[in-house]
Structure 1
Amino acid sequence: MKRAGLRGALLAVVMLTSTACAGWGGGGGGDGGADSINVLMVNNPQMVDLQRLTAENFTAETGITVNFTVLPENDVRDKISQEFSSQAGQYDVASLSNFEIPIYARSGWIAPLSPHIDADPDFDQADILGPMTESLTGDDGQIYGEPFYGESSFLMYRKDVLEAAGVAMPANPTWQQVAEIAARVDGAEPGMSGICLRGQPGWGQVFAPLTTVVNTFGGTWFTEDWQAQVNAPEFREAVQFYVDLVREYGETGASQAGFTECLNNLIQGNSAMWYDATSAAGSLEAADSPVRGKIGYAPAPVVETDSAGWLYAWSWGIQAASTRQDAAWEFISWASSKEYEQLVGEQVGWSDVPAGKRASTYENPEYLAEAGAFAEQTKAAIEAADPRNPGVQPRPALGIQFVGIPEFPDLGTQVSQSVSSAIAGLVTVDEALDRGQELAEDVAERYRSRLEEGES
């Protein structure tokens, strides 16, 4: 869900072409010694910065050597799952999202961080934004992950295009208002669509924004007692609205458009609006961006809820089987610290700071000088996110743009394929969601059975 921008795409190409699966600049994990830890992490740009800065800063200070294994997102998720489920102990630390961490905590695959946090007041847990801490907390109330960087979602729009069309963006827009604006600015400039929305299949592609639309329309994947709701009226209304909006006023090739395609569309002047990750703003406001200074930022559009932004964080977890947990915590507490953000700002650039996790970041004048156009809106979006209550009814699992259960990636991806087909005009929304309901019922039945077994 955290999507690399233009810089990230270039780094990914360099890493994949120069080092294959070992990761850019680092080999695989090894046994090491007492003063050595093995870290398995995703190849996103901020992580690559971390890898570059570790030896001359963290290791020089602590004497702890860090052996990195760096892989693309899909590959690293598979490897982490295999490693942590087997408790092989080869890797001490891994980059995990707020989707995996509560699940891994429930399975006993990762160690609680609360004892380390309590013994390390310099880390300043209170400075971590509340929703981030909440999303990384287990059922037992202990914290199991620390965010490296985080994001929510908001609406990005061309201020100059709306102004020329005589349109004012509401301070807190509804989806109906966004649809009206999209109709007004569609074709405002040659080749410009009114809006860009993800349509590419994938639980982390089309369903990242679409599930937030479902939430605010009053829908949910499952009720609190595990009744599937994929073809319920509220879910159906939300998906029909989304499909109609992107088909009527959206980008060309919408059924295959993801984060990167929409980012490029906005940068290149091919779309007037875009609802997506707050992390995109850094690319839009980059020094070489042709739309720098032209973009406005509004909260995620709503219907029945007060807020609707998602919540995502690449975070750190310690494998329960690790025999070097104290050293692992030293690394995590450095990588997620205020001091590390300052280091990145000074040595890499303030636009590259792994933000979205600490309140103090949004009080730092050096960061605000670079990110002032979107910093306040990003912080507000993250603070408004509620991973336990993102809709109008109680939920059975943690998560806003996902359902925090192991089955969701497969379920969400299968349903997304049908939704993408509806965007392409190959099936109706009703057909897509009726098929999705069958898939969701299979998942729900398993959880209802477990509840009944627990009660008997």
Structure 2
Amino acid sequence: MKKLLAVPTALMGLGMLLGSGSALAATTLTIGTVNNGDMVRMQALSKTYSEQHPDVELRWVVLDENTLRQRLTTDISTGGGQFDVVTIGAYEAPMWGRKSWLMPLEKFSPTYEVDDLMPNVRRQLTVDNKLYALPFYSEGSITFYRTDLFAAKGLKMPEEPTWTQIRGFAEKLHDPSKNVYGICLRGKAGWGENMALLTTMVNAFGGRWFDEKWEPQLTSPEWSQTVNFYVDLLSKFGPPGPSSNGFNENLTLFNAGKCAMWVDASVAGAFITDKTQSQVPDKVGFVKAPREVTPKGSSWLWTWALAVPSSSKQQQAAFDFIQWATSKEYSTLVAKKYGISAMPPGTRLSTYANAEYMKSTPFAKVTQEAIQTANPDSPTLKPVPYTGLQFVTIPEFQAIGTLVGKSLSGVLAGTSKADAELKSLNEQVQRTMKRAGYPKK
């Protein structure tokens, strides 16, 4: 497990700003967050919060997604108290809330407007009518594609493509001699990395993680078809070394103009249309995530949210900070600094009621539809005993998803064959579930 990372260079100015007044700071908040673009913006803009709260010092622990989850899970489950604010998602929030590991969020500031939070997002962070985290941004998975490359080949992207159609496009657009790859997809191991994509693909092909009796289904025809399709697609029409690529790596590739298509989190729209970051900001189209035999569960629903651990000794100050970071005021600050399309997506009804935002943001409509239509309570074609679209909302899934993600990343890298690996994984998952006492009575 990695030690705390140093504060990024971009934040040194914040540290210097606080340094002169640190002796006056009565409260120090330690914030654990992921190194995604929107969180980097939050860190930069937190200077405004510090100016408004000179008695609060902010200390940032910035980690990659997999390492962050390990650190936070260990600290929260043991009551370690290292963090005052944690960045978690729709997987952790309900389970940790039920275990009383998180502070229930009540008595909001009168200006916060909690009822402006999108209902489908708020529901993912709520247990027994109590909110345990506030959404920083939310996303569905959608398809990004290069409109100029499609036009040059005389191709037309459907509003609701299938994976079979996507493969056909990838074959026609793949041109590595010009540093253009037919498709970019997550291959990096992790239950929230490659398995987020692969689970929605399995859903789209009609599969599921478990049957109604909690028997794992990794040897089913649907899993075999999905994994073999995925490996073949990326091996033939993806960039070199796809097993090393997660969200951030594929974002870099797309921004460099090297991906003809990319299926991933809708939040990427703000970055690939940003002229300061992307080489193709005005050459991108947006449609729904691919389906295949069914649209059910073919797009994920995820929320990166901010919560306050019950072990924090600075709960009120931490609650004040997460209200600021998820407020309409903060969204306005982002819009002024980075442009209106950079406002945190998928969290507030008022964002999508803003005519200027909808007009200026080409990915807004498909993002809104993906979030509003996602149904974690009915994620698959066949019946299942669990909730969750790109994950299974049980404590054991973090370990299971990590195990399967690592193995299938190896399959993508060519170290093993898909069907043999799925057979072995099915047996391992079956043992894990039996040890955990499934099916629960």
TM-score by length of 2: 0.86
The CA distance in 1 between the partners of 2:438 and 2:34, in whole Å, is: 39
In the other structure, the counterpart of 1:170 is: 158
The CA distance in 2 between the partners of 1:165 and 1:399, in whole Å, is: 38
TM-score by length of 1: 0.83
Alignment of 1:112-261 (within 5 A): 112-113=104-105, 115-116=106-107, 122-138=111-127, 140-187=128-175, 190-261=178-249
Contact kept? 2:32, 2:86, Cα under 8 Å: yes
Matched, 1:95 2:87: yes
What one-letter code is carried by the residue in structure 2 that aligns with 1:204?
G
Instruction: Please report how far the alpha carbon of residue 431 of structure 1 lies from its aligned counterpart in structure 2 after TM superposition.
Output: 0.8
Instruction: Report the 3-state secondary structure (helix = DSSP H, G, I; strand = E; otherwise coil) of the residue aligned with 1:382.
Output: helix
Name which of 15, 18, 33 aligns with 1:42.
Answer: 33
Contact kept? 2:32, 2:83, Cα under 8 Å: no
Name which of 364, 378, 382 aligns with 2:367.
Answer: 378
Instruction: Report the 3-state secondary structure (helix = DSSP H, G, I; strand = E; otherwise coil) of the residue aligned with 2:126.
Output: coil
More moved, 123-132 vs 168-177: 123-132
Matched, 1:81 2:70: no
The CA distance in 2 between the partners of 1:169 and 1:330, in whole Å, is: 45
> For 1:375-394, what per-residue CA distance to the aligned partner results, in whole angstroms no more than 9, with x for missing partners?
22222222222222221234
What one-letter code is carried by the residue in structure 1 that aligns with 2:372?
E
In the other structure, the counterpart of 2:99 is: 107
The CA distance in 2 between the partners of 1:195 and 1:90, in whole Å, is: 40
Matched, 1:350 2:340: yes
Q: 1:426 to 1:90 in 2, by over 3 A?
A: closer
The CA distance in 1 between the partners of 2:327 and 2:10, in whole Å, is: 30
Instruction: Report the 3-state secondary structure (helix = DSSP H, G, I; strand = E; otherwise coil) of the residue aligned with 2:94.
Output: helix
The CA distance in 1 between the partners of 2:47 and 2:254, in whole Å, is: 38
Alignment of 1:275-294 (within 5 A): 275-288=263-276, 289-294=278-283
> For 1:210-257, what per-residue CA distance to the aligned partner results, in whole angstroms no more than 9, with x for missing partners?
111011112122234321111112222221221222223222222333
> For 1:93-119, what per-residue CA distance to the aligned partner results, in whole angstroms no more than 9, with x for missing partners?
322222211221122211222x335xx
In the other structure, the counterpart of 1:436 is: 425
Instruction: Report the 3-state secondary structure (helix = DSSP H, G, I; strand = E; otherwise coil) of the residue aligned with 1:152.
Output: strand
Instruction: Please report how far the alpha carbon of residue 155 of structure 1 lies from its aligned counterpart in structure 2 after TM superposition.
Output: 0.7
The CA distance in 2 between the partners of 1:224 and 1:388, in whole Å, is: 14
In the other structure, the counterpart of 1:421 is: 410
More moved, 103-112 vs 417-426: 417-426
| Matched residue count | 429
Name which of 310, 323, 327 aligns with 1:333.
Answer: 323
More moved, 146-155 vs 41-50: 41-50
Instruction: Please report how far the alpha carbon of residue 66 of structure 1 lies from its aligned counterpart in structure 2 after TM superposition.
Output: 4.8
What one-letter code is carried by the residue in structure 2 that aligns with 1:211?
T
Q: 1:448 to 1:46 in 2, by over 3 A?
A: same
Q: 1:262 to 1:318 in 2, by over 3 A?
A: closer
> For 1:326-365, what per-residue CA distance to the aligned partner results, in whole angstroms no more than 9, with x for missing partners?
4433322222111111122224543543322112223335
The CA distance in 1 between the partners of 2:402 and 2:161, in whole Å, is: 29
The CA distance in 1 between the partners of 2:81 and 2:7, in whole Å, is: 26
Q: 1:396 to 1:327 in 2, by over 3 A?
A: farther
Contact kept? 2:300, 2:390, Cα under 8 Å: yes
Q: 1:352 to 1:439 in 2, by over 3 A?
A: same
Q: 1:90 to 1:42 in 2, by over 3 A?
A: closer
Contact kept? 2:203, 2:296, Cα under 8 Å: no
What one-letter code is carried by the residue in structure 1 that aligns with 2:282?
G
Identity %: 36
The CA distance in 1 between the partners of 2:180 and 2:40, in whole Å, is: 35
What one-letter code is carried by the residue in structure 2 that aligns with 1:135?
Q
Contact kept? 1:149, 1:357, Cα under 8 Å: yes
What one-letter code is carried by the residue in structure 2 that aligns with 1:312?
W
In the other structure, the counterpart of 1:4 is: none
Q: Structure 2 regions of 5+ residues with no counterpart? A: none
Instruction: Please report how far the alpha carbon of residue 271 of structure 1 lies from its aligned counterpart in structure 2 after TM superposition.
Output: 2.6
What one-letter code is carried by the residue in structure 1 that aligns with 2:59?
F
What one-letter code is carried by the residue in structure 1 that aligns with 2:368?
K
Q: 1:50 to 1:161 in 2, by over 3 A?
A: closer
Matched, 1:71 2:58: no
Instruction: Report the 3-state secondary structure (helix = DSSP H, G, I; strand = E; otherwise coil) of the residue aligned with 2:107.
Output: helix
Q: 1:449 to 1:165 in 2, by over 3 A?
A: closer
The CA distance in 2 between the partners of 1:17 and 1:142, in whole Å, is: 38
The CA distance in 2 between the partners of 1:23 and 1:404, in whole Å, is: 38
In the other structure, the counterpart of 1:10 is: none
In the other structure, the counterpart of 1:405 is: 394
Q: 1:355 to 1:395 in 2, by over 3 A?
A: same
More moved, 258-267 vs 383-392: 258-267
Q: 1:420 to 1:326 in 2, by over 3 A?
A: closer
Instruction: Report the 3-state secondary structure (helix = DSSP H, G, I; strand = E; otherwise coil) of the residue aligned with 2:130.
Output: coil
Instruction: Please report how far the alpha carbon of residue 17 of structure 1 lies from its aligned counterpart in structure 2 after TM superposition.
Output: 6.1
